[in-house]
Chains A and B, each alone.
Chain A
Amino acid sequence: EPEVTQTPSHQVTQMGQEVILRCVPISNHLYFYWYRQILGQKVEFLVSFYNNEISEKSEIFDDQFSVERPDGSNFTLKIRSTKLEDSAMYFCASTGTGETSYNEQFFGPGTRLTVL
């Protein structure tokens, strides 16, 4: 069964450094998402992406964040200058094979980002 994959599983970085988190959504999906979960808190929506542009973003998704689908298979989340409070588990999700509603969002295993 196809799955969303994410790399790396764990990323450690110094405050102020740029990080890129990578996701490979399920191949025929059209909608892509990033969520994050700070330790002990709820899973929070960051951004959704469709047709090579952002569909919706949360207030968390400020100018330090960007997303890209560089090559038709990968979907990346870049944090330009990491802060301590960016430490979290980041989940990628994908859904949608067409115009149908009620599509399930399939989640990746997550990347744990630790900012020191």
Chain B
Amino acid sequence: AQRVTQPEKLLSVFKGAPVELKCNYSYSGSPELFWYVQYSRQRLQLLLRHISRESIKGFTADLNKGETSFHLKKPFAQEEDSAMYYCALRGGYSSASKIIFGSGTRLSIRP
């Protein structure tokens, strides 16, 4: 079964502290993994994808196929990082493939 699991509904950290949002997935093939972010009153937007291996807004995520994980990390949290974060996967490398979302983690950065 295709599934994305985000175990934390809410993560609250102080500004400047490291952040790690956990994500595990279940997929029989080779999925493409993403992190989407939704800031308050804004639309869902792509934060990063495992294929590109880039750092966006200081966030990185490494795909660990052995542990089937794709945790999102940032060494020093900023207040503007407060948002809802969704881990997601797309099966196969087709533009038509659906995206399967996790249930999301609300990240709250305390000043």
Chain A: number of interface residues, binned into ranges: 20 to 34
Tell me the A75-108 residues at the B interface (CB within 8 Å).
91, 93, 95-96, 100-105, 107-108
Given known contacts A42-B101, A42-B102, A48 and B43 CB-to-CB distance under 8 angstroms: no
CA distance A89 to B40 in the complex (A): 15
Name B's interface SS: loop
Asked if A55 CB lies within 8 Å of chain B CBs, one says yes
Q: Cβ of B96 and Cβ of A31 under 8 Å apart? A: yes
Q: Cβ of A102 and Cβ of B32 under 8 Å apart? A: yes
Q: Cβ of A55 and Cβ of B96 under 8 Å apart? A: yes
CA distance A34 to B18 in the complex (A): 35
Bitwise interface map of A from 1 to 22 toward B, beta carbon under 8 Å scored 1, else 0? 0011000000000000000000
Q: Cβ of B101 and Cβ of A44 under 8 Å apart? A: yes
Given contacts A105-B46, A105-B99, 18 further A-B contacts (CB under 8 A): A35-B101, A41-B103, A42-B101, A42-B104, A43-B44, A43-B86, A45-B98, A48-B96, A50-B96, A55-B96, A58-B98, A101-B94, A101-B95, A102-B32, A102-B93, A104-B49, A109-B42, A109-B43
